[in-house]
Amino acid sequence: MADLSPIIRPPAQKAPEPVENPVPPGYSADVDPPAMFLCDAPSREKALRAVLRRLPALAGAPVRIARVPELHDRHGAAHAGAFLRRRRMAFDCTRAEFARVFTHELFHFVWLRAGNPVRRSYEELVQHECLAGSPGELGWSSEWRKRTLTPRDIRARTRRWREYCCESFCDAAAWLYSGVGRHPEFTLAARLRERRRAWFARFVGRGALSI
């Protein structure tokens, strides 16, 4: 299974702004990337450590991280891809975007192992937003999918709906944990962002994340 994050962009992108989201209390600042992430580019380990300090504890077998130039999926050029069964991530993004993109891809592994009750709970959260006509998302990967949804997709839980929910979950996690406080792709209303933060605190941030 591969989950790729396409570089399908709205016009006029700006660089991400510095860290603003605080590190959640109680999270470990002593994470050793080689213990769980096998990186083919040692220059990325510093950035990797910075991201991991912001995450809950992780549990699972090692994941290999590789840089793959000109990465593509069925939608076109892609920033990254998570190959879940092969336990591999591929990246073709800038250093400035690495923290956000890595966190997004990592949470594809979390989503796979979260279990049906947690996934359905998140679906219900974003279903309320969609049925209320609330625009915006916390990443373009989920936002363009959200824009294509029909009432039938939501009602019947079609593949298009389930893919949107997965991408929304991963984008929300990247917003919450990557340390990027502001970004042109963070278009969801502030009150809905806080609902997402509260959901993650209840269902995700209480113990080790299985990847």
Q: Whole-model pTM? A: 0.82
Q: What is the pLDDT of residue 33?
A: 53
Tokens of 173: 């996690």
Residue 2: per-residue pLDDT: 52
The reported pLDDT for the residue numbered 21 is: 41
Instruction: Please report the pLDDT score of residue 207 as a whole number.
Output: 78
First to last CA, the chain: 14
Q: Pseudo-torsion of CA 192, 117, 107, 155, nearest 10°?
A: -60
Residue 73's Cβ-count burial label (10 Å; 0-12, 13-18, 19+) is middle
Ranges of residues in the chain with a pLDDT under 70 are: 1-34, 69-79
